[in-house]
Amino acid sequence: MDSLVQSVLKSSAEKESKYKTTEVVKDIEVDIDEGHLLAVDPNPLDIKLLRSERDSYLKALARNDTQLLINKIWELPVERVEDVIVAKLPEPRTVVPREKPLPKEKPMTKWTQYAREKGINKRKKGRMVWDETAKEWKPRWGYKRAGDDTKDWLIEVPDTADPYEDQFAKRIKAKKERVAKNELQRLRNIARNMKGKVPGVGLTPTDTPDKDDVSRALHLARKSTASLGKFTQELPKEKPAKHVGKKRKFEPMIGNFNEEKKRALDILNKITNKQPTLNITQATNQEIYTEEDQKRIGKGGRNHLEGKAEANKTGTGRASQKEKAGVEKAMVKRDEHPSS
C-alpha cells in the first residue's frame, strides 16, 4: 500500500517537475488586456542574463508572461459549448491607432447649406405610408409608391385647361422634369464642391435668351468649325466677343527681373503675414445654429437628436467634436506649420 502511494506520489512529482508552475511572480504587475489577448510586461530586462544567454532568457520571459495572460483568461467566466470550454473575452481596453485617416466630411449640398442657415432640421420620415385609396401600406417613393398620380385611371380635366391637352401625358412629363431637375441639382452640387475647374456644359436652351446668352452662342458657333474658327469671317465693325474665356498666359521667360522679384516677395509676404480671415455671414449663421441647437437640447426633444444625426451623417459619438472643429474652421483659417 505504501509503495503504491509512494509510486503515485512519485509519478505525480515527476509530472510536476515536467510542467512548470502556473504561479508567476513579477515585481511590477503585467498589464494585461484580455480583449486583445495582449500582455505588456513593464519589468526591466535583466541585462546580464540577456547578454549571457539571450535565447533561453527571452524564451523563459515570454513563457511566464504568456502564463500570466492565460491565468487571467481562466479567471474570466467560462462556459462549455459542445465539449469545448469557451471564455468570453471582455471589450478591449487598448485603443489601436487607425491605419487609415478619418473619412472626410461629406461636402454640403446647396440645400443642406440653406437648411443649416435657416435652422431647418430634417425629420425622419417612415419608409412606408398608408395609402387611403388602396387601403394598404405602400412605399413613400419608388416602385408602386403611394399616391402615384401617374397611375390614375381617370383624371378630371380642369375648367381652365385646354380640352385637347393630354392630362395623363402632362403628369408623366411633370414627373420626368422633377427627376431631371433633381439629377441636375445633384450634379451641380458635385461640381460646386470640386475644387478645380468644372468643364462648362456649353449652352443650355433657355426660354428667353438674353444678350449674353446670344453672344455666347454666337462665339461658340464661330468656333465650331474644323479649323476652330480660324477662317470664320467677321462682320464689318464687329465688336470683339465677350465671354470667350481666358487664354493661358505666362510671363516672359526673360522679362523684367526686378518686377519678378517684387512679385515673388509680395507672394511671400502674403503667405507669411496671412491673417485669419473672418467670414462674417458664415460665422453668424453658425452662431445662430449652435444657439438653436443648445435650446433644443435643453428641451430634450427627440426630433432634434434625429435631425442632428441626419445633418451630420456621421456617428453620434463624434458629433460634438465635429461641431467644434467646424466652428474653429469657420472662425480661424490658420496655416498649418510643422514647427508651430
Partner 1 sequence: MRPLTDEETVAVFEKLSKYIGENIRLLIDRPDGIYCFRLNNERVYYCSEELMKRAANISRDNLVNLGTCFGKFTKTRKFRLHITALDFLAPYAKGFGVTAKSTTDCRRVDPMTIVCFHQADIGEYVRNEETLT
Contact residues toward partner 1 (CB under 8 A) are 40, 94-95, 97-98, 101-102, 250-255, 257, 260-261, 263-265, 267-268, 270-272, 335, 337-339
Which lies closer to partner 1 via its Cβ, residue 234 or residue 260? 260
User: How many Cα atoms within 13 Å fall on the side-chain side of residue 102?
Assistant: 7
How far is residue 57's CA from residue 238's CA, in Å, rounded to a whole number?
94
Measured from the CB atom, the residue of 249 and 313 that comes closer to partner 1 is: 249
* Shortest separation between residue 100's beta carbon and partner 1, angstroms: 8
Q: Minimum distance from CB of 102 to partner 1 (Å)?
A: 6
Q: Can you tell me the distance from the alpha carbon of 291 to that of 54, in angstroms, rounded to the nearest whole number?
A: 64
Q: In the beta sheet, which residues pair with residue 128?
A: 139
Instruction: Give the nearer residue to partner 1 in terms of CB position, either 241 or 319.
Output: 319
Q: Do 70 and 21 touch, CB atoms closer than 8 A?
A: no
Residue 33, helix vs strand vs coil: strand
The least distance separating partner 1 from the CB of residue 92, rounded to whole angstroms, comes to: 12
In sequence order, the 6+-apart residues with CB closer than 8 A to the CB of 53 are none
From the list 88, 71, 58, 77, the residue with the least C-alpha distance to 32 is: 71
Question: Shortest Cβ distance from residue 261 to partner 1 (Å)?
Answer: 6
Cβ at position 296, least distance to partner 1 in Å: 27
Q: Give the residue with the Cβ less far from partner 1, 262 or 299.
A: 262
Q: Which is nearer to partner 1, 40 or 218 (CB)?
A: 40
89 residue type, one letter: L
Nearest approach in angstroms of CB 253 to partner 1 is 6
Q: Which is nearer to partner 1, 47 or 271 (CB)?
A: 271
C-alpha cell, 236: 464689318
DSSP string for residues in 253-309? SS--HHHHHHHHHHHHHHHHT-PPP--HHHHHHHHHHHHHHHHHHHHT-HHHHHHHH
Least Å distance, CB 58 to partner 1, is 17
| Closer residue to partner 1 in complex, CB, 127/270 | 270
What is the spatial distance between Cα 150 and Cα 240, in angstroms, rounded to a whole number?
Answer: 50
